[in-house]
Amino acid sequence: MDTERVERLLDAADLPSLLAALAHATGDPGLVPGDLWLNPDLALQPDGGWDEQQVERARDLAARGIERVVARVGGRAGPADELVASLIDWLTGADLDVGYRRMLAEELAVTGDLRVPEPIGGDGWPPIDADHPVAVIGAGMSGILAAHRLKQAGVDCVVLEKNGDVGGTWLENTYPGCRVDVFNHVYSYAGEQRPDWPEYHSSQPVLLDYFQDCARRWGIHDRLRFGTGVDAMSWDEQARRWTLQLDGGKAVTAGAVVSAVGQLNRPLIPRIEGTDDFAGEKFHSSSWRHDIDWDGLRVAVIGTGASALQFIPHLAEEAAHVTVFQRTPPWLIPRPVYHEPLAEGLLELFRLIPGYAHWFRLRLFWCTHEGTVGALRRDPAWDGPLDQAVSRRNEETRRLLTLYLRSQFGDRPDLLSKVVPDYPVGSKRVVLDNGIWASTLKRPNVELVSDGIERIEPAGVRGADGRLHTVDVIVFGTGFRASEFLMPMRVTGRSGADLHQTWAGDARAYNGVCVPGFPNLFCIYGPNTNIVVNGSIIYFAECATHYMVECLRLLASQGAAAMDCRPDAYDRYAARMDEHNSQMAWGISPVNSWYKSPSGRIAQNWPLPLVDYWRQTRLPDPADFELL
Ligand code: NAP
């Protein structure tokens, strides 16, 4: 291969993961020498914080490694577990224990999916069979994964989906500009990796296609029942089964239920006085009106969260005028590649070097894994004002992000004064930016209103300053009812207990999955399993799904029909979540966010290292359950 081409490829490469891939592909650990050990504290920096000489040496080694792979010299990628383990150690630079290393090996999946469950039970396992399968509610990211794993475990299941197709949130949210705000390689199933994402943060149609493609490849279509919403379900104490009432009036019985209904899919339209009187069109971002011709229209957008910041730039290009009503500005995280296609050199390397895409994904996973979350944890020694920051590191992040906002809005002091948040970074969801927010707000046809809404009138939105903003359309970018888990289903458990009354607005679940009094009900993406600045929710869904399958295995091994979480385990678990959440920026700051239930309790977020969730979802502890 000519030197020029190699140099071009190396320019596009992430060198640490490339060296790991080359060492794996050639079987030569000499490609990851000790003097290129990566410093975990500098993991987020390009090339892991290596100095110039180290980068040169890495390029040199990588060039030779590429030549060898291309010439097919040396070993071949294979299941060399020891080599993989040592390369994981090298790539993370961290002192990992066996469990952590195993979790990363599963994420790497370079020799195939390591999360395939062993088959459960056998003929005649009584509680779950073709007549009484596991009912999975929802065919989004979590639901299709649950169906896939159940199929692999040899357990009958049926997936009840209210929509007409697979995809969940990626099917419903079709607003312009919708894209994934986690690196796309990380936002994918470990066992179903796709190297050639067109962009670092691909758009909604690409994500939808990925999930639909996974469902096809997993061969679960015969289990999917579309257009089938679940209104209610109740536990039959005698039969020890669930009966699910479907919205068409029919019912199905199930040996167990997996709730995979998502968390951010029930629109929140705020109660603003006069909303119903508005004479024009109004809709929520998750029900985008593609039939509207925006040319010449004046539009009001309420909300400046992740969704709004994605669609407002598009509206601003098409509509005559956009008035943006902002209640609380979001912190913006600069991400220059936010809208960028994957570098061609990187795609070429993925094709050329076996396994490189997997190692590249693992490094992204590692860097964004514990990543920035440490900066959101309270430092007890921090004596600064808590309404500004919760630790020195949090304060430092605040300073850097404020500098970013100044660099973006420095020439518009009128805007700058409105867009700098006054709460600690991480108290609410941060939003990615590549400069598009500032360029949008600076457009002559865009106005940012930040002093509140008094009411909505037939002709438009009246601001708190008394001014009427006359508009033709109102778009609600106002988010979702995130704390209302499993709503609006009525869920009746043992002794007639109602799930929503039990929760009383503050949803909890042991391991994010089980609730006492509701046997054989397993939640995926349940309470306190949401992550907001690191990792990917797919990782959480994979852990919870594994746990659900292992719970069924426990039942089968014990010859039991059902399992019910013990209240003391549930209470201890919730107290642990609360204690740790109270030490996070989102639990300390009074700023409003969708992380909080109406009582102010954090019912959504996971407050611990991500690997802790993997550890605690390996196997159910029989002591935490009553077997029925
Ligand atoms: P959101 O983050 O909850 O934002 C809602 C916005 O509406 C906020 O600016 C909120 O203001 C405002 N709002 C709510 N009620 C209001 C009222 N009565 N008056 C004025 N303003 C009001 O919702 P979202 O943007 O739809 O995003 C929700 C989550 O979905 C995100 O945080 C993210 O996790 C996920 N998401 C992901 C992607 C992606 O990956 N592509 C894209 C979009 C969304 P306050 O801040 O003052 O409450």
pLDDT in tens, 396-449: 999 999 999 999 999 999 999 999 999 999 999 999 999 999 999 999 999 999
For residue 157, being part of any structural domain is answered with: yes
Q: Does 237 score more than 60 pLDDT? A: yes
Q: Whose CA is nearest to atom 4 of ligand 1?
A: 305
Average pLDDT over residues 479-485: 92
Q: Answer for the pair 168, 138: CB distance below 8 angstroms, yes or no.
A: yes
User: Given the DSSP bridges, would you call strands 473-476 and 281-284 parallel, antiparallel or unpaired?
Assistant: parallel
For residue 125, being part of any structural domain is answered with: no
Same domain (yes/no): 164, 238: yes
Q: Which of the four pLDDT bands, split at 50, 70 and 90, describes residue 1?
A: confident
Same domain (yes/no): 262, 296: no
Same domain (yes/no): 318, 415: yes
Q: Does 296 score more than 60 pLDDT? A: yes
Q: Answer for the pair 393, 374: CB distance below 8 angstroms, yes or no.
A: yes
Q: Whose CA is nearest to atom 45 of ligand 1?
A: 328
Q: Whose CA is nearest to atom 43 of ligand 1?
A: 307
181: CATH? 3.50.50.60
- Among 478, 604, 606, which is best to mutate for testing ligand 1, by the most ligand atoms less than 8 A from CB? 478
Q: Which of the four pLDDT bands, split at 50, 70 and 90, describes residue 45?
A: confident
**Strand runs labelled E in 308-428:** 321-325, 332-334
Q: For ligand 1, what atom is nearest to the CA of residue 285?
A: 26
- Among 184, 423, 429, which is best to mutate for testing ligand 1, by the most ligand atoms less than 8 A from CB? 429
For residue 124, being part of any structural domain is answered with: no
Task: Report how far ligand 1's centroid is from the alpha carbon of 304 (Å).
Answer: 6
For residue 377, being part of any structural domain is answered with: no
Task: Report how far ligand 1's centroid is from the alpha carbon of 398 (Å).
Answer: 21
Same domain (yes/no): 574, 431: no
Task: Report how far ligand 1's centroid is from the alpha carbon of 365 (Å).
Answer: 25
Q: Whose CA is nearest to atom 17 of ligand 1?
A: 270
The closest alpha carbon to 460, from 285, 271, 300, belongs to 300
**Strand runs labelled E in 392-532:** 431-433, 446-449, 453-457, 460-463, 468-470, 473-476, 490-492, 521-523
For residue 374, being part of any structural domain is answered with: no
Question: Who lines ligand 1 at CB under 6 A?
Answer: 178-181, 264, 270, 272, 302-308, 310, 325, 327-328, 429, 453, 477-480, 592, 594
Distance separating alpha carbons of residues 358 and 366, to the nearest angstrom: 12
Same domain (yes/no): 57, 71: yes
Same domain (yes/no): 552, 435: no
User: Could you say which of 457, 476, 495 is where a domain stops?
Assistant: 476
Task: Report how far ligand 1's centroid is from the alpha carbon of 593 (Å).
Answer: 8
- At 21, the amino acid letter reads A
Task: Report how far ligand 1's centroid is from the alpha carbon of 509 (Å).
Answer: 24
Same domain (yes/no): 63, 149: no
**What is the model's pLDDT at position 370?**
75
Give the count of domains, the chain.
Answer: 3
User: Could you say which of 430, 451, 476 is where a domain stops?
Assistant: 476
Q: Which of the four pLDDT bands, split at 50, 70 and 90, describes residue 76?
A: low
Task: Report how far ligand 1's centroid is from the alpha carbon of 537 (Å).
Answer: 17
Q: Which long-range contacts (CB under 8 A, 24 or more apart) does 178-181 make?
A: 178/203, 178/204, 178/307, 178/310, 178/311, 179/203, 179/204, 179/207, 179/310, 179/339, 180/207, 181/306, 181/431, 181/432
Average pLDDT over residues 296-317: 98
**What is the model's pLDDT at position 122?**
62
Structure tokens, 319: 């509509």
Q: Answer for the pair 301, 445: CB distance below 8 angstroms, yes or no.
A: no
Q: What are the pLDDT digits (tens) for 376-399?
A: 999 999 999 999 999 999 999 999
Same domain (yes/no): 221, 81: no
Is the pTM of the predicted complex or chain greater than 0.85?
yes
Q: For ligand 1, what atom is nearest to the CA of residue 327?
A: 47
Q: What are the pLDDT digits (tens) for 537-557?
A: 999 999 999 999 999 999 999
Q: For ligand 1, what atom is nearest to the CA of residue 328?
A: 47
For residue 375, being part of any structural domain is answered with: no
**What is the model's pLDDT at position 563?**
97
Q: Does 80 score more than 70 pLDDT? A: no
Same domain (yes/no): 456, 499: no
* Average pLDDT along the chain: 94
Q: What are phi and psi of 581, to 5 degrees?
A: -65, -30
Domain span at residue 325 reads 275-337+383-476
Same domain (yes/no): 536, 437: no
Q: Which of the four pLDDT bands, split at 50, 70 and 90, describes residue 123?
A: low
- Among 307, 448, 536, 605, which is best to mutate for testing ligand 1, by the most ligand atoms less than 8 A from CB? 307
Same domain (yes/no): 468, 567: no
Task: Report how far ligand 1's centroid is from the alpha carbon of 478 (Å).
Answer: 5
- Among 141, 264, 453, which is best to mutate for testing ligand 1, by the most ligand atoms less than 8 A from CB? 264
Q: What are the pLDDT digits (tens) for 177-189?
A: 999 999 999 999 9
Q: Whose CA is nearest to atom 46 of ligand 1?
A: 328
Q: Does 43 score more than 80 pLDDT? A: no
Same domain (yes/no): 511, 610: yes
Q: Does 75 score more than 60 pLDDT? A: no
Q: Whose CA is nearest to atom 31 of ligand 1?
A: 306
Task: Report how far ligand 1's centroid is from the alpha carbon of 476 (Å).
Answer: 10
Q: Which of the four pLDDT bands, split at 50, 70 and 90, describes residue 47?
A: confident
Average pLDDT over residues 234-259: 96
**What is the model's pLDDT at position 382?**
96
User: Could you say which of 476, 511, 527 is where a domain stops?
Assistant: 476
Q: Which of the four pLDDT bands, split at 50, 70 and 90, describes residue 515?
A: very high
Q: Does 481 score more than 80 pLDDT? A: yes
**C-alpha distance from residue 255 to each of 128, 132, 385, 543 (Å):** 5, 5, 53, 21
Q: Whose CA is nearest to atom 33 of ligand 1?
A: 306
For residue 560, being part of any structural domain is answered with: yes
Q: Does 78 score more than 70 pLDDT? A: no
Query: 82 CB contacts (<8 Å, ≥6 apart)?
Result: none
Q: What are the pLDDT digits (tens) for 58-71?
A: 999 999 999 999 88
Distance separating alpha carbons of residues 26 and 24, to the nearest angstrom: 6
Average pLDDT over residues 15-42: 90
For residue 405, being part of any structural domain is answered with: yes
